Every structure is written in structure tokens, then in C-alpha cells.
Amino acid sequence: GEGLPRPEQTRVMVVANQKGGVGKTTTTVNLAASLALHGARVLVIDLDPQGNASTALGIDHHAEVPSIYDVLVESKPLAEVVQPVPDVEGLFCAPATIDLAGAEIELVSLVARESRLQRAIQAYEQPLDYILIDCPPSLGLLTVNALVAGQEVLIPIQCEYYALEGLGQLLRNVDLVRGHLNPVLHVSTILLTMYDGRTRLASQVAEEVRTHFGDEVLRTSIPRSVRISEAPSYGQTVLTYDPGSSGALSYLEAAREIALKGVGVGYDPTHAHIGA
């Protein structure tokens, strides 16, 4: 995995979709590992109180571990919570602990409540090529912090019935944050996940997504794969758990596409007529 272009500035990608179970966490950790294997320096920020991304990366995140909660609520420097991911050179993680469940409420009364993550990232001095932020399945203050901190939104879409339902709300939020707090924010990447090309429904949904979003949809889609779903229980990404599997290869290819496409200008959500 040599020879991929490295971004001139750190690309901060927000992995969001307010629907649960669509592959946000799986995509965050496997894409991050893939980018690192391609030679990039990558930080995963776990912004979901469930801490699934931390678990999948084999990162200790029991209640006493310094975590992204301390960064957001206690203004602890990000550098003090970042841990190296075992077995993947160049990959790092800012873990989430169960404390983060309270942050959604605690943030409300804090100054600059929407931009605390942005400030923490701006003050982080280690060189990075990518930051991937794994969002919870909601559009509360945690996700808003991610949208204010990022330049790019990556939306994983599961090819099932109602795949596009509810996306309208996410796109309107992206638009609002762009209008008021973060003018560079754009939807740069759509990734089809858990794709089963043998079913008519999956190919119809894929077609619909491609018609709607056009160039932002990666050519690579991620197949449904048992190896992908097994890896987290070993504290591994599929890239180390089963490097030759179809799941590993598809995430490597998706990472390559993302690196080659660059930041892009992205899908314009202003005229979105989609979902509920």
C-alpha cells in the first residue's frame, strides 16, 4: 500500500448517520486502519458513549481511562487521551468511556458548547493525515461537535428498505452547521455498506443512492462479511484479523479511493429533497 497521495492538511472526516446499525463504527475503524496501512497517520475519535470503536481497536476504555469526555467537558488536551492502536503502525484512538453518555446534557451549560471538539483538535500538535470521528446514532450536541470540527461528512448507507429515510434530517443539520458555524463542511463521501449484490433490493437501493448523490458515492461498496462482524470481538479490525478477506480488501480499496479523490467540494445539501 505505498504511493498514495497524502493530504496537504489533516482531513477531518465525520462518520455520521443518525440511524443505528448502518456500519458507522465498522467503517470508521476499518477505513482508519486501511488508511494507516496505506502509510497515513490516522486518529480515530470515538464520540459514541457505547465505545464500540474503542473496543474494536483493542483500546482500553474502562471508566477511569482518560477519554474524549475529559476533552469535551473538562478541557483536557486531546494529546493526553490519545492511545496508539496495537498492531497497526500510524493508527491512534481517543477512546470513549461510559461518562460520555452524560456529556450530551453536561455540554448544554458549557461555553462554546458546539465547538469544544474543534478547539481540542486545533490545539493538537501531532502531525496527522486523517482524523475519523465515529458519531453516535443521534443528532445531539456530540454529533454537532463533530460537524463543527470536521471538513467532510462520510455517510455509510446500508442497502436496505428505508435506507434514505431520515437522511434528510442529517443533511439539513449539515447545512445548518455549514451556514452558522463551519463554512467548509460538506458531504464528501457516501459508502454503501453490508452490500449483497445478489439481492434485487440491494442493487435497487444502490442505484437510488447513486442517482441521488452522484460522484460522492464511492465505487467500492463493502460486502456483507462474517469476518468483518467477527473482528471486533477480538479487539481487531478486519485488516489484521483476516487481511485477505473480501471485507479487508474492500475497505483497503475504499481508503484508496478516498485518498485519491481528495477533499472534494461535495454534495450540496441545500436542495436536498430526500427522506423524512
Q: Which residues bind Mg ion (CB under 5 A)?
A: 24-25, 52
224 binds, among Mg ion, ligand ADP, none (CB under 5 to 8 A by kind): ligand ADP
Question: Which string of DSSP letters, residue by residue, matches 27-85?
Answer: HHHHHHHHHHHTT--EEEEE--TT-HHHHHTT----TTS--HHHHHHH---GGGT-EEP
Instruction: By CB under 6 A, tell whether 11 contacts ligand ADP.
Output: no
Residues in 15-34 that interact with ligand ADP by CB under 6 A: 20-26
Instruction: State the cell numbers at 214.
Output: 452522484
Instruction: By CB under 6 A, tell whether 54 contacts ligand ADP.
Output: no
Residues in 164-203 that interact with ligand ADP by CB under 6 A: 193-194
Locate cell 458555524: which residue? Answer: 181
- The dihedrals phi and psi of 90, each to the nearest 5 degrees, come to 85, 0
Q: Please classify residue 43 by burial: count the beta carbons closer than 10 Å to its beta carbon, then call 0-12 exposed, 13-18 middle and 19+ buried.
A: buried
Which positions from 114 to 143 touch ligand ADP by CB under 6 A, shown as an x/- string?
A: -----------------------x------
Instruction: By CB under 6 A, tell whether 47 contacts ligand ADP.
Output: no
Instruction: By CB under 6 A, tell whether 221 contacts ligand ADP.
Output: no
Residue type at position 89? E
Residue type at position 242? D
- The stretch near ligand ADP (CB under 6 A) out of 123-131, 173-181, 209-217, 225-233 is 225-233
- Closer CB to ligand ADP, residue 41 or residue 157? 157
- Closer CB to ligand ADP, residue 32 or residue 66? 32
Number of residues that bind ligand ADP (CB under 6 A): 17
Question: Which one, of 172, 120, 126, lies nearest residue 150 by Cα?
Answer: 120
Q: How far is the CB of 12 from ligand ADP (least distance, A)?
A: 19
Q: How far is the CB of 48 from Mg ion (least distance, A)?
A: 5
Cα–Cα distance for residue pair 151/164, rounded to 1 Å? 22
